[in-house]
Amino acid sequence: MDRRTVLKGLAGAGGLALTGLSAPAIAQGAAARTLRFVPQANLANFDPIWGTQYVVRNAAALVWDTLYGVDAKLQPQRQMVESEETSDDGKIWTFKLRSGLKFHDGEPVLSKDVVASLSRWAARDPMGLMILAIQQELTAVDDRTFKWVLKQPFPKMLYALAKNNAPCSFIMPERIAKTDPFKQITDYVGSGPMKFVKSEWVPGAKSVFEKFADYVPRQEKASWLAGGKQILVDRVEWLVMPDPATAAAALQNGEVDWWENPIADLVPVLKSNKNISVDIGDPLGNVGSFRMNHLFAPFNDVRARRAVLMALSQEDYMRAIVGDDDALWKPLPGFFTPDTPLYTEMGGEILKGKRDLDAAKKLLAESGYSGQPVTCLVAQDQPITKAQGDVTADLLKKLGMNVDFIATDWGTVGSRRAQKTPPGQGGWNMFHSWHAGADCITPAAYTAIRANGDKAWFGWPNSPNTEKEIAAWFDATTLEEEKAAIGRVNKAALDDVVYAPTGFFLTYTAWRKNVSGITKGPLPFFWGVSKTA
């Protein structure tokens, strides 16, 4: 008898005396049928259209299905759709749903549900908005057929419906999908492979998903968001653990089965445990970045922006984020995700080779910089932004710039970066962020690469050349045309320094060895994952 049993016995006896309650006997199989997962962040709300946090998207992928799903080759594949037709002029898309699709409340999935869902999604999604801009009508033809009529062709339609960037075009029942896209839904009925157990939801602590018995998976092998989504456990519990050391200890102790994003510092400890597997989680990784405000001096002058690019060492940034693990980072002389079909380094010379501080200083002087403070916003509560901010402060000082380092929290950076006032009056010159590599494969969902001035992301870059080439990519119909266009986008965006890429980095995921079927992907996929006791 070990000490724990003794303690248990003692406490149990006391407990029985006090309460008359006893510990429930947990069947051996029950543990194996419940997968306990530590997500990257709180599931603080659950509307994947209203809010676009990655954690919401990841949970939503269990509950709501999509018409198409992107596979591991980044190709859109049919998911809820049985077939689609395009008119000869490319303006009319007619889709037919698979038969037998059901929502979690037992109701069939109908075209009217799809129409309402796509309408709500399109109002919030960058690609959806592009479709809306050329939409003539979106209508249900019959229960299983719907039609999207456009004023001009949109070759990237299937990619828009399949993409995994938030917000994804999840299909909800019409009554839910009719909710104002800027208001949150409260009913979480989907047709995905798992049901959300609202009664057990403790926002910020625990979310529970149960297998949906009536889900009809496709016959193909699962591949990311495409193919047959076979759920092999009865229940998935998401347990939020804000403290990484606690999550690591819980994984080592077998109290949780899978930790989505272990921090780099704790990976060696996990790797040394014979019961734990550690591997790269998302092969599409992340693109580190800082943005300079194009509206105000000194970075309204492209020479000042180029000077910073000439001087920055991506290795310094990446080591600050991932430490000494060389498997976790790559230099990135451009903006697009490495190892994806459209990856390019065209025009990336300014980020390659030995850093030339003297030349950078000279260029900065030519820009007219005369020592005014550079307001640098750094969110200290986000390890990735903090690490990058520290490196940038050092870089700017080496360049002879006067750094006004604003150490604050992410919520404050988020609101202050929207200020278009001058830096001395509540505005800013720089802030740090990063982008999921899944968002940086093409310009489709790549908000950060857009350079259309006032309409662009924070920093408001205005680069007509970049915009022209992005438009060329949208119009491209072959892979070769796409590659050529993306090369030109990369060059134009680097020439005008739309933003500063600080490198490409990966993160790990870790799981107990009694769990199998975990695949690498841009989000945690639970289909095909099983567990033994």
Partner 1 sequence: MLSYILRRIVATLPVMAIVALFVFSLLYIAPGDPAVVIAGDQASPEDVERIRQSLGLDRPFLIQFGSWVWRILHGDLGTSIFTNLPVSTLIGQRLGPTLSLMMVTLLLTIVVAVPLGVVAAWKAGSLIDRAIMGFAVFGFSLPVFVVGYMLAYIFALELEWLPVQGYTPLAQGFWPWLENLILPAIALGCVYIALVARITRAAMLEVLQQDYIRTARAKGLGQGGILFIHALKNAAVPIVTVIGIGIALLIGGAVVTESVFAIPGLGRLTIDAILRRDYPVIQGIVLLFSFVYVLVNLMIDVTYTLVDPRIRY
CA distance 223 to 308: 41
CA distance 285 to 281: 8
Task: Say how many Å lie between the first and final Cα of the chain, rounded.
Answer: 22
For partner 1, the closer of residues 59 and 81 by Cβ is: 59
For partner 1, the closer of residues 203 and 373 by Cβ is: 203
| Amino acid type, 59 | A
At closest approach, how far in Å is the CB of 124 from partner 1? 7
For partner 1, the closer of residues 2 and 88 by Cβ is: 2
For partner 1, the closer of residues 28 and 219 by Cβ is: 28
Q: Report which secondary-structure segment, H or E, holds 468.
A: helix 464-475
For partner 1, the closer of residues 314 and 433 by Cβ is: 433
- Could you tell me the CA-to-CA distances from 277 to 29, 41, 280, 328 in Å, in that order? 22, 21, 10, 16
The two tokens of residue 20 are 């008359």
At closest approach, how far in Å is the CB of 440 from partner 1? 11
At closest approach, how far in Å is the CB of 246 from partner 1? 5
For partner 1, the closer of residues 460 and 474 by Cβ is: 460
At closest approach, how far in Å is the CB of 185 from partner 1? 8
The distance from CA 310 to its chain's CA centroid, rounded to whole angstroms, is 29
For partner 1, the closer of residues 242 and 368 by Cβ is: 242
Q: Report which secondary-structure segment, H or E, holds 15.
A: helix 3-19
At closest approach, how far in Å is the CB of 16 from partner 1? 7
Residue from 435, 431, 228, 469 nearest 347 by CA:
469
Cα within 13 Å of Cα(117), Cβ side: 25
At closest approach, how far in Å is the CB of 349 from partner 1? 29
At closest approach, how far in Å is the CB of 202 from partner 1? 5
HEC string for 161-186: HHCCCCCCCECCCHHHHCCCCCCCCC
Contacts with partner 1, residue ranges (CB under 8 A): 2-4, 7-8, 11-12, 14-16, 18-19, 21-24, 42, 44-45, 50-54, 124, 126, 165-166, 180, 182-184, 186, 202-206, 239-243, 245-247, 249-250, 252-253, 255, 381, 408-412, 414-416, 418, 433, 435, 439, 445, 447-448, 455, 457-458
β-strand pairing of 206-211 with 235-239: antiparallel
